[in-house]
Structures are given as structure tokens and as C-alpha cells.
Amino acid sequence: MFRRLAASLLATLALCALAAHAAEWQITQPNVMTIAMGVSIPNDVIYVTGSDNGTGARIMRSFDNAATWEDIKPGNEISLMTLAMHHNPHTNTTTGIAAGIGMYQIFNGMAAAQDNGDTFETIGEPVFVAGYQASGVTPSGTIGVVGMWSPNVREPLTYGIRMTNDNGQTFTDSTWPLEEAPIRYASFPSDDVWYATGGTWPTSTSGRMAGKHHHGGARHHAPRDPTRKSAMLNEFFKFRTVRGNQAIEYLPTSTDPAAHAKDLANYVGVIAKTTDGGRTFNTVFHDVGNFYMNGIDCPSVDHCVAVAEGPAGGHIFVSDNGGASWNQTYTHPEAGLFKVAMVSETHGWAIGGEVNPQTFNGLFPSTEDGGFTWTQAPLVPHVYVNDVACTSMDNCVATAFHRNGQSVILQLA
Ligand SMILES: *[C@@H]1O[C@H](CO)[C@@H](O)[C@H](O)[C@H]1NC(C)=O
Ligand SMILES: *[C@@H]1O[C@H](CO)[C@@H](O)[C@H](O)[C@H]1NC(C)=O
Ligand SMILES: *[C@@H]1O[C@H](CO)[C@@H](O)[C@H](O)[C@H]1NC(C)=O
């Protein structure tokens, strides 16, 4: 009896020791800005982008693993939603692009890092409207910015990818061919091979940012009040700016598939692949009636991990044969998944949140076998995680929306 108790006590202690070593995400910086939405870690320097209510775009940088931060001049952008930084070890220089919302020939929607990331300057031509929600870097340092744009009120809205290999001085644009599922995120495992996700959900067309029309597709009208703008980031969050005041609005939707029965056909999730640097795309994954795709990360040209969300919850898909087939390797019935960051061919983190009518809880599945099996780290209350960057599995920085209306930074303890 006594021996059995001692044995179980030992087992409990061993479990505690294991638990103490397991990765746990914690908020290390509360209320960092109103809307923190992009994180990148070139050469161990952490950059976080987003925007503050009333004052617009914000970029922060930390040289000491998020212990202290400095503000960097962001250019004149209204709000930033994504960030892709690149450190060139041969020249020891850091370049990069922060992108977000451009509008009405006032805000271009993009800024490029100057002077090794000390400042960011607005780049490109003014646009009538632009919404860049994703970006990435090829192994050689070419940066891709993903979203939609229209140069002036007469031009149709183009969805696609804008690539630059001179830090934003010139761009080569690729047009996304799949009208029924606008482009959302992309990964650039080589200069020529890229994968991009697309998707729609029932309310996404009404919430999509205004432009004149999608090339050849449905017409979108400019809002009557040009200072009022909103964009759906996904089914749960609306980015809203009214006369310079910016907020993220949480729109809880039921994850009960029955509640969505009549709308299910409006969930479309696609992945397309290019092998010629964006000249042509082939659809390699196409699903109707279940979810839309979010982030994708491809640690090599044949191996990708992509996340999706819909009324049946969050999903993770993996291909290890160049997109020829995809295996669903994780689902969570009451969650959304926003991004995935592979640290290597084998190791990586997916991020998102459990959603319910009152709040959301940060969700962090991780993999050690290339995405085929996943382990869930402890939930973080009241955050929905929207971006993550890692230098190793236990050295990551994530940005998240908090239920209090502000954004936070999370790191692993
Ligand atoms: C690289 O540049 C940074 C400043 O941007 C400097 O602190 C660092 O010492 C440089 N490293 C090398 C190897 O020159
Ligand atoms: C933004 O600022 C306005 C004006 O100060 C305020 O009314 C509003 O509540 C703020 N919104 C957020 C999300 O902080
Ligand atoms: C992926 O799915 C296919 C078809 O269901 C299956 O044959 C294959 O074994 C799966 N691969 C892995 C690594 O689970």
C-alpha cells in the first residue's frame, strides 16, 4: 500500500517535471498597441507592426528578446497588417516591407525598411485602394506581398502577389486566377515555387474592402464616407477604421455546422501553386462547403503545412509531395487557426484561438514530425493569436488580439 502510494507520488512528480518543461505560451507584453498584426525576427531582432487607435501605423523593435522596445518611424501608413523582414548575412544588412491598408491616393499601403531597419519609408505609387494582409520572403531574400490593390478609381481591383527583389523600389505583379476564392496568404519556398491560399466565407463578400470591381468579377462599390473603412480579416474579426479611430471587432459566429447549413456552399478553400515565379498557378487543393484557407508555410518546395477554419472548427493540412495530395492531420471543433510557422522541415507551430460567443482563447498546436501529428500547448485565456515568428521551437514571438480590445505579445516560457 505504502509502496504503491510512493510509486504514484513519484509518477506525479515525474509528470510535474515533464509539464514544467513543456512549452507554455505567456503574455509578455500586455496592451502593446491597439492592433498588433505582424511579427518578424531577422537576425534575432524582433519587429512588430500594427496600428494604434487614432494615430495610425506603428512599428516596434526589440534588440533584447522583447525586454525593451523602441518605436521606429513607420512612414505615413494608416495601418499595417503584415511584415516580412530579411537579414542578409553576407552584407550584414536588414531589409523588409511592412504592408497594410492603402486608400484614396493618400496612403500607399506599404513601407520599406531603410538604414538596416532604423526607419521605414513609404514606397510605391499612391493607390485608390489596397489591402495587403500577408507577406513572405524567398530563401534568396525576394519579398512577396499578398492582397488586393487598384491604382486608381478607374482600374479594376486586382488580387495577387507583388514581388520585389530591390526592397520595394520595383515590383513584379502576379494575378491570382481563382475569382471564387480570393487570395489570402502565401509561402515562398524558392524563387520560382510558391504556394498561396484562397478562400471565402458567407459574409466575406459584403465585408470585403471597397474597390471598383474585381477584375471581371462581382462589382464592389466605394463606401460613401471615405474615412470609414472596414475589412474582414477572417470570419471572426473585422478591422474597422472610422475617422482615424481603429479597432478590431470580434464577431462571434457559431461553430455549429447546423447553424451554417444554408450557407455552407459559400465556404470555399483553395491552395494554388506556381512553379514559374507567379506567371501561372495550378490549383492543388479545392474544397467547397467546409472552410476557407488561412496561413500556409512550406519549409521546402514539396512540403507545406496549411491551416483553415470554418463551421466545423480549425483544420490543418499537410502535403509532402508538392501539393499532389493533402492530409488533414489536426482538427479542433471549436477553434479557428490563422497561421502556421515551420521552424524546420519537422518542427513548427500553428496559431489561432478557440472561439465562443463571449471570448476566445489562444490555441497553439505544435508538430515535431513535419505536420503529421500535433500536440496542443496550454490555452491562453482571452487572446486570439494572429501572427508568429520563431528562431527556434522555444524562441518564438506571437501577436494576438485581446478581448479587452488591445493587442498583446506572447512568448514561450
Ligand atoms: C552587423 O551589423 C550590426 C548593426 O546593424 C552590428 O551591431 C553587428 O556587429 C554587425 N555584425 C557583424 C558580424 O559585422
Ligand atoms: C479609439 O479612440 C476613440 C476616441 O478617443 C474612442 O472613442 C474609442 O473607444 C477608441 N477605440 C478603441 C478600440 O480603443
Ligand atoms: C495521407 O493520406 C493518404 C490517403 O488517405 C494515405 O494513403 C497516406 O498514408 C497519408 N499519409 C500520411 C503520412 O499519413
Going by pLDDT thresholds of 50, 70 and 90, the confidence category of residue 246 is: confident
pLDDT at 257 over 80: no
pLDDT at 10 over 70: no
304 Cα–ligand 3 center, Å: 14
Please, what sign has the CA dihedral across residues 39, 380, 235, 373? positive
Quote the Cα angle for 148-154-156, to 5°. 35
Using CA atoms, how far apart are residues 351 and 150, in angstroms rounded to an integer?
Answer: 31
Lowest mean pLDDT among 34-43, 97-106, 301-310: 97-106
Domain boundaries, the chain: 25-412
Lowest mean pLDDT among 13-27, 43-57, 100-114: 13-27
Mean pLDDT of 85-104: 93
Residue of 365 and 253 predicted with greater confidence: 365
Going by pLDDT thresholds of 50, 70 and 90, the confidence category of residue 256 is: low
Using CA atoms, how far apart are residues 176 and 186, in angstroms rounded to an integer?
Answer: 11
How many C-beta atoms surround the C-beta of residue 356 within 10 A?
13
pLDDT at res. 254: 63
Share of the chain above pLDDT 70, in %: 86
**Which of 302, 320, 327 for mutating ligand 3's site (highest number of atoms within 8 Å of CB)?**
327
244 Cα–ligand 2 center, Å: 10
Name which residue sits closest to atom 13 of ligand 2, judged by CA. Answer: 247
pLDDT at 96 over 60: yes
Question: Strand 110-114 relative to strand 93-103: parallel, antiparallel, unpaired?
Answer: antiparallel
Atom number of ligand 2 nearest to Cα 245: 1
Residues 6 or more apart whose Cβ sits within 8 Å of residue 14: none
CATH number of the 25-412 domain: 2.130.10.10
Using CA atoms, how far apart are residues 148 and 132, in angstroms rounded to an integer?
Answer: 6
Long-range contact set of residues 341-345: C-beta below 8 Å, sequence gap at least 24: 341/297, 341/388, 341/389, 341/390, 341/396, 342/297, 342/298, 342/299, 342/305, 342/371, 343/390, 343/391, 343/392, 343/393, 344/299, 345/299, 345/300, 345/303, 345/370
Per residue in 108-145, pLDDT (tens digit) is: 899 999 999 999 999 988 888 899 999 999 999 999 99
Atom number of ligand 2 nearest to Cα 53: 1
